[in-house]
Structure 1
Amino acid sequence: MQFILTTYRRLAIPMKSQHFLRLLTELTSYKWSSRLIGSFTKTKTSRLLIPWYSKTYAICNEEAEKPVSAYRSLNDFFTRRLKSGLRPVDPYTASLVSPVDATVTEIGRIHDNLSIRVKGQEYKVGELLGRSIIPGNFNGGFFIILYLSPADYHRIHSPVSGFIRETAHIPGKAYPVNEFGLKHMRKVLKRNERLITYMQHRYGILSIVKVGAMNVCSIKYTEPLSLRLNKGDEFAYFEFGSTIILLMENEPFEFRSGLGLGSRVRVGEPLGYWVAQMN
């Protein structure tokens, strides 16, 4: 399916074919298909695909914690850690840092009706958080959506220092969360499986929404999970590519200058600052 979507982007398939691709995507969006793929990627046989995978997605193997030959399976390689010190964390107290290596796909304010727009589709904050929503002053707050491609490092780090107030798991489908999925499928960010972490930090509540995607077998917390996290601490990971949504309360905050659609970010880089604390 990933190959089909890539072909679609490269060949600019006409509008009529988009309907077929949407139908095909619907048929392959069930969790059982992702689990089937996931089961294979955890086998010893799948390690034979690591060189192909690394070359296809131009992965920088020199950053990996271990030599490529040391990984037991494709999934083991995909969820690899990096060498120590490669992702320095911004030390400024008032900064919000990127929890992942990713591309910014949307960024902006949460509207007063508690909604955000993503690729022309409107999402209510309640749709993203489900019944797990913790009361917070999100009206007029801020959001940023970070897309992890198959080439990216897929460990998730804390964007702030604080403690985990609550977690929630929302079952769902496994639609692609790339450009095609966000634009042409109906509200995939609320239909896909999600793992939500609410963090209480110095400046309020931060919602970290981890969205599953096509071929994502699972989203897991690092074990043992510490309830108190320092900025930059690893606390979760994806098994294959996906998306992170950060929702911030309506506090004095500014995204860093130059950050916008298509920006590449890395773990530990500042995404913005709580400006009331900068004076």
Structure 2
Amino acid sequence: MKKKIFRLFVELTGNPTSSKILKFITQSRMSRLLIRPFANTYQINQDEMEYPLAHYKSLQDLFTRNLKVGARSIDTSSNSLISPVDGCLSAVGKVDEQDTFIIKNQSYSLAKIFGDDKKASTYKNGSFFILYLSPSHYHHFHYPISGTIFSRYALGSISYPVNNLGLRLGNRPFSTNHRLISEIQTEFGKVAIVKVGALNVNSIHLNSSSKECIKGAEFGHFSFGSTVILFIEDHYTFTPTVPMNSEVKVGQPIAEWIK
């Protein structure tokens, strides 16, 4: 019953009309009154923001803020995978022979996440990382490895929450939410970056259509909340270097390949 009520709430509040209302409010100048309470509530680090708090004209301006130049250090080791976002590494593990993995006691199918059996099979026996971005985090995403994009496409429409409650009670949000998938060919094999929208949020913005990926370079942002999932092809020996539930920042190494 609880799941049914939760899903009904999401379907009512996640429709295009309510999403437009939410976007209008957060983009409006009247939302400026909410900026300081928002920053205080979520303990946003104002020292690393590009501008002082008074500079931002709306709540969304603050949410999509840039950081000061040099605020993040990018690991340049040739064999490292870096975090593409500031967030919590909420899960890390291996994809099994059936192309599935378990999150919060729910089984996820790669074929449903990628919308295609052939694409999903690329990451069989590979690794995955799930990085959750809370309202307090910097909401731009960066390339976790250098390479060339060979596939980019969008799936899904309604967006369930991707926090702990959403994962427990939602309808497998990672495989049903609006998501933008980018696949990169690297010297270590293929890496997929799945950017997942959250409640009322189907707003994933790319900076350009360039296929060139430079490790650590920014290539887009989320308008509100979100999650990023990384899938790593099982090509070389690959070892995570950061434990689950760690807070990570853009540019921080989270795994490494060993040829």
Deviation at 1:134, TM superposition (A): 3.5
Q: Which residue is 2:226 aligned to?
A: 242
2:198 counterpart of 1:174:
no
Q: In the alignment, which of 48, 70, 94 is matched to residue 109 of structure 1?
A: 94
Q: TM-score, normalised by structure 2?
A: 0.93
Deviation at 1:133, TM superposition (A): 5.9
Higher strand share: 2
Amino acid in structure 1 at the alignment position of 2:219: F
* 5+ long unaligned stretches in structure 2: none
Q: Deviations over 1:83-104 (max 9, x none)?
A: 1111101110010000000111
Task: Give the 3 Å change call, closer, same or farther, for CA 203–32 of structure 1 in structure 2.
Answer: farther
Instruction: Please tell me whether the aligned partners of residues 160 and 171 of structure 2 are also in contact (alpha carbons under 8 angstroms).
Output: no
Q: 1:141 aligns with which of 114, 117, 126?
A: 126
Per-residue deviation, 1:132: 9.2
| 1:218 pairs with 2:218 | no
Query: Counterparts of 2:100 and 2:166 in 1: how far apart (Å)?
Result: 19
Partner residue of 2:215 out of 231, 237, 241? 231
Q: Give the counterpart of 2:15 among 30, 33, 37.
A: 30
Matched position secondary structure for 1:264: strand
TM-score normalised over the length of structure 1 = 0.87
Residues 153-187 of structure 1: per-residue CA shift (max 9 Å, x gap): 00000000112212101131121000001011221
Q: Which residue of 1 aligns with 2:143?
A: 158
- % of aligned pairs identical? 38
Aligned to 1:52: 37
Output the amino acid matched with 1:144: F
TM-aligned CA deviation for residue 22 of structure 1 = 4.4
Alignment partner of 1:189 is 2:189: no
Say which is worse superposed, 146-155 or 118-127, in terms of deviation: 118-127
Query: In 2, distance between residues paired with 1:270 and 1:221?
Result: 23
Is contact 1:136–1:249 with CA below 8 Å preserved after alignment? no
1:264 aligns with 247
Segments of 5+ residues of structure 1 without an aligned counterpart are 1-15
Q: 1:42 to 1:217 in 2, by over 3 A?
A: farther
Distance in structure 1 (CA, Å) of the matches to 2:119 and 2:211: 17
- Count of residues in correspondence between the two structures: 258
RMSD of the TM alignment (CA)? 1.8
Change (3 A) 1:160 1:118: same
C-alpha offsets along residues 84-125 of structure 1, whole Å, 9 cap, x if unaligned? 111101110010000000111211000111111111111111
User: Counterpart of 2:249 in structure 1: which amino acid?
Assistant: R
On the 8 A contact 1:225/1:235 being kept in 2, the answer is: no
8 Å Cα contact 2:48/2:68 also seen in 1? yes
Q: Does the CA contact (< 8 Å) of 1:99 and 1:268 recur in 2? A: yes
Asked if structure 2 preserves the Cα contact closer than 8 Å seen for 1:89 and 1:267, the reply is yes
